[in-house]
A and B are shown apart, each in its own frame.
Chain A
Amino acid sequence: MIFRVFAREELKKLFDAMASKNKIVGPVEIARDHNGKPLFAFNEVNSFNDIKLDYTTTKLSAKKYFLPYKEDLAAFRMDENDWQKKVDYNISEPFIFFGLHACDINALNKLDKVLMGSVYPMPYYAAKRKNMFIVGIDCTPQPYCFCRSMGADTALHGFDMFITDIGEKYFVEILSDTAFNFLKNIRTAEPIEADHIHYMKVASEKNKKFTAHVDTTDLTKILDMEFQSDVWKQWGEKCLACGSCSKACPTCYCYGVEETVDINLRGAKKTKKLYSCNLIDFAEVAGGHNFRPERHVRLKYRYYHKHRGFVEAYEESLCVGCGRCGEACLANITVPEVIASVRGEEN
């Protein structure tokens, strides 16, 4: 790994060098909540001043850029008795994520495993993933963040460069050649011992700020043992089955496919829409049978997929501990509380 440091004012120059010829997506403030606190989102940005690099967590993850909520998988052109299928992966140019937190980079790394693994890799995702350049940025743990428990508080790969604010300077980790070349646009220096010390200080300060935790010890086994536990029913009674949790989550990728005929009857579309396993008809089949008719069974399934199924398949959880689902939930269902209750711990 290559490290560099650069002065604070250089960051804007780096942004400008990148923005001169590329599309940039970054965290921006979109509104204020009723307490006057800013609400953040990932949007396309044109100016460095629009980016809020000290943002907390965006309400929704960045997934509209790699797993759009609605995406056409194919279009058909219909003639008399025949049709032609045209497949489009819905991306035409590369883009830069400027300012992703470690949890969101880890979320991409996890999605890569299922969506770009060896069995039926998904080109719609792969095309976007292969065309994103990622600038990571360090963050301050919020009360709902438990990424440290999930091992997602630092990103080891899956980005091009990662910037940490160490006071007077920025400390940057460089993972790709492209990133290295971009940095030639600004003045950087080899870090000196004092920079290392500042970096380590920032890292240890950050660690002290975590307040939310999830105990993942033996969690897969515990989830199996407590599969019939009544705590699921209690959570199920609270759950509104609205699916907001999945919508906010950076790693929820489940979907449904629908086909529609164009109004002029000369074409048709096959459309993928992200779905949530908490919605009532997720596992309903033709004829009306529903394999998961109750809310608690669907809620349990969501936890089961994230914290057990994925671990079984990839030796890691599908949850990065960003806390977005808990923040989005109108019923105040949060991962740390649900897992603690399944473990029989009082909160």
Chain B
Amino acid sequence: MDNQLKFTDIISEALQKQHRKSDLSTFEYTYKAEITNIHRLTEMENLYRIQIIDTEERRQFIFQPGQFLMLELPGIGEAPFSISSSPARHGDVELCIRKAGNLTNFLSRVGRGTHVGIRGPFGTNFPMEKMHGQNILLVAGGLGLAPLRSAISYAQDNRSRFNSVDIIYGAKDPSQLLFTYQYDMWRADDIGLSIIVDKPDSSWKGPVGLVTKILEQMFSERGNPFFKSTYAIVCGPPVMFKFVCNMLNQKDIPMQKMFVSLERRMHCGMGKCCRCNVGSTYTCLNGPVFDYWTVMNLKEAI
């Protein structure tokens, strides 16, 4: 016998473009995409419209509201961002990105036409189909509106499938409000929208306080039967969703009908780097969207 071992070459498999979760080649596969537009939303946040360049790949990029992708700028970094656009638009996505560090600050300085890499979509989603025939209550605090916007688009695209659709949105001050240009469109699609700010400026005419204030108002206006057939999606800082979910639970919305999105440090999105673990749960695989019951049962979640 010849004593030389045979080399197993798995890189040749990588050349085949397959993107199933079980394929080795999926791991580092990046869709090349182009930033086709940058819309300045506030001083801190921009909305990036990013299109996968290959039309076939763009069409095949299927995601659900609540899922995220990994955005990569070669040499600068890679980070997770919630997809903020309608799932009907496939791989022509919008990401609402806040300047927070290395990559995000760099992104705020690039122009249209920049080529970026996309991996994903990753993670769990808001179960929109399960919510058909019910009311949906979408509660957002601050940047939490970014992932919610995809669910809102879904509701707009499928308005007849839902009863009431209500958004409650809270921001620190009026200058931080995101997607102001869309509020009228949402209302036109018969989506209730209440906005509240914590620190008003002189021109602010709306309510002042926290989202819970609007929620209390809603509790007094609508009866228990309404909440019995309601799903809730709550996105925002942990303190906020904890308060909101506990309030909603008192209105007999079961914890399994409330969904939240958790944010953790992520370096892979595929259950390998362990940076996103909450207790022993991977936020990137088992989340970021969890029902509130699951979150309550996660060690170190909130």
Residues of A participating in the B interface, judged by any CB pair closer than 8 Å: 17-18, 20-22, 73-74, 76, 78, 81-83, 85, 87-89, 92-94, 96, 114-115, 118-124, 126-127, 130-131, 133, 178, 181-182, 184-185, 224, 227, 253-262, 268-270, 275, 277, 282-287, 291-292, 297, 301, 304-305, 308-310, 312-313
Contact = CB atoms under 8 A, between A and B. Distances in A.
A88 B23 CA distance: 16
A130 B3 contact: no
B27 interface: yes
A131 B9 CA distance: 9
Nearest to A75: B74
A121 B299 contact: no
B29 to A, nearest CB: 8
B10 interface: yes
A123 B25 contact: yes
B273 A256 contact: yes
A127 B6 contact: no
A124 B11 CA distance: 10
A81 B115 contact: yes
Contact of A256 (B11, B100, B275, B281): B275
B38 to A, nearest CB: 15
A283 B275 contact: yes
B265 A114 contact: no
Interface of B: 1-8, 10-11, 14, 21-28, 30, 72-79, 100-101, 104, 113-115, 117, 263-265, 267-268, 270-275, 277-281, 285, 299-300
23 contacts: A20-B3, A73-B28, A76-B74, A85-B117, A94-B7, A119-B285, A122-B27, A122-B272, A123-B10, A127-B11, A227-B299, A255-B274, A259-B77, A259-B78, A275-B275, A283-B275, A285-B264, A291-B265, A304-B279, A308-B280, A309-B277, A310-B280, A312-B280
Contacts of A262: 75
B245 to A, nearest CB: 19
B100 A287 contact: yes
A260 B103 CA distance: 12
Contacts of A277: 274
A286 B74 contact: no
Contact of A114 (B11, B77, B272, B279): B272
Nearest to A274: B273
Contacts of A78: 74-75
Nearest to B299: A227
